[in-house]
Amino acid sequence: MPKNIALRISLILFLIVLISGCSENSINDRISVKHAGALKNFMHEGDVSAKASLDSLNPTDLYAVGALENLKGELIIIDGQPYLSRVVNGEVEIDKSYDSKASLMVYSYVSDWRQFQIEQPINSKIELEGIIEEYALQEGIDLEKPFPFMVKGKLFSFTWHVVNWPEHATIHTHEKHITSGLNGVEEDREITILGFYSRNHKGIFTHHTTNMHMHVLTDDWELSAHVDEVVPGESFVVMLPK
């Protein structure tokens, strides 16, 4: 084989390997997930102190969920806009400022999302998890690494809570977190759910019974809360990092 042809083939193969490596790295960077604090901090140690200050984060393309300092509320940040929910005089009050701290926060920066229209009945959070896994694999997302996702549409129902942990209480359970503040069931609401999927962060930012940590914001901005159970409608949108 002439030397110039062999050299060209070698150069082409080198470029293919180089481009493939860059693509893989860029995908990993694009869906990088970070966290501050951990569920086990307050579940096992009773530590509900602040682990992150919201105003220390770059808001551009920021997506985050978590619990506020001392477990006095919930947080969701969508495209840089925070919606912080607290229990005030027996009602959920939403604050849209960055002037708060979090005892637990999971976050990622996503500049663009790919949408998937789902036209099938989903009867539980577990089934929704399966749909998210299916489309994540289709997009080449590694399920062994954490990634954010969103769900948009009219839900058949969802169960929610906003934590309002009493001072000096030391014994933590998920049930007590639900009942410490406000909780309820909503039906036929237009919503945006922001969630984080991980198989390897149980006790960190997911509970031991699920691979997902989800928060919800209703489209009328009346409710921002942690999602405990969800039954989507027969038509909704799943969004994954593009």
Q: pLDDT per position in the chain (242 positions), as tens?
A: 555 555 454 544 444 444 444 444 545 457 799 999 999 998 888 899 999 999 999 999 999 999 999 999 999 999 999 999 999 999 999 999 999 999 999 999 999 999 999 999 999 999 999 999 999 999 999 999 999 999 999 999 999 999 999 987 888 888 899 999 999 999 999 999 999 999 999 999 999 889 999 999 999 999 999 999 999 988 999 999 99
Which letter does DSSP use for residue 175 in this model? Answer: H
pLDDT at 18: 42
Instruction: Establish how many alpha carbons lie within 13 A of residue 238's alpha carbon, considering only the half-sphere containing its beta carbon.
Output: 24
Let me know: does 104 contact 39? Beta carbons within 8 Å: yes
Q: Where are the beta strands (DSSP E) in the chain?
A: 33-36, 52-53, 62-68, 74-78, 81-88, 91-95, 101-109, 113-118, 147-162, 182-197, 212-218, 224-241
pLDDT at 77: 98
CA distances from 157 to 79, 139, 187, 234, 236 (A): 25, 28, 4, 12, 13
> What are the tokens at 212?
């997902």
pLDDT at 2: 54
Closest CA to 206 of 178, 176, 239, 228: 228
Q: 89: alpha, beta or left, given left = phi > 0 and alpha = psi -120 to 50?
A: left
Closest CA to 31 of 105, 109, 104: 109
